[in-house]
């Protein structure tokens, strides 16, 4: 099993994930060829702690989560419960999370009813409000 502490410490010291930190993170997360639960949990925890999220990190994060959930092509009840916990962490569904759910729904070979319920609940929430200036 990969020890993520070195990568995590470098990222937290920098306060953001880009350049060499993102490269090292990608290598660590995909070291086994797939994104397992340990790696996915690490990414979720890391994302909460990173001070400045870059677009490159967000893209990597959501792709890795999608790769984790769709590892076998299906979304089961246990994966849905994990996903619900990840999405409900702050009580609001962000645009990127909506996109993730749409991609999961579109790419899954099969999904349990619990995922359908989660999807519908999340889509009922009001979209993020973006303001200028």
DSSP designation for 74:
E
Q: How far apart are CA 9 and CA 120, in angstroms?
A: 38
pTM here is 0.90
Place of tokens 């677009």: 55
Q: Cβ distance 94 to 122 under 8 Å? A: no
Burial of 118 (0-12, 13-18, 19+ CB in 10 A): buried
pLDDT exceeds 70 at position 39: yes
pLDDT one-digit tens code per residue, 110-119: 999 999 999 9
pLDDT confidence of residue 12: 87
Residue 130 has pLDDT above 80, yes or no: no
Is the pLDDT reported for residue 122 higher than 80? yes
């Amino acid at each position: 099993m990969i020890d993520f502490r070195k990568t995590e410490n470098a990222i937290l010291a920098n306060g953001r994930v880009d350049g060499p930190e993102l490269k090292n993170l990608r290598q660590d997360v995909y070291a086994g060829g797939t994104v397992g639960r340990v790696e996915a949990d690490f990414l979720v925890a890391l994302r909460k702690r990173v001070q400045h999220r870059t677009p490159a990190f967000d893209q990597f994060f959501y792709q890795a989560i999608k790769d984790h959930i769709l590892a076998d092509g299906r979304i089961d009840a246990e994966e849905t419960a994990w996903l619900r916990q990840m999405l409900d962490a702050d009580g609001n569904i962000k645009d990127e999370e909506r996109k993730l759910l749409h991609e999961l729904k579109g790419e899954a070979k099969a999904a349990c009813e619990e995922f359908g319920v989660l999807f519908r609940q999340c889509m009922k929430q009001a979209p993020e409000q973006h303001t200028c200036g």
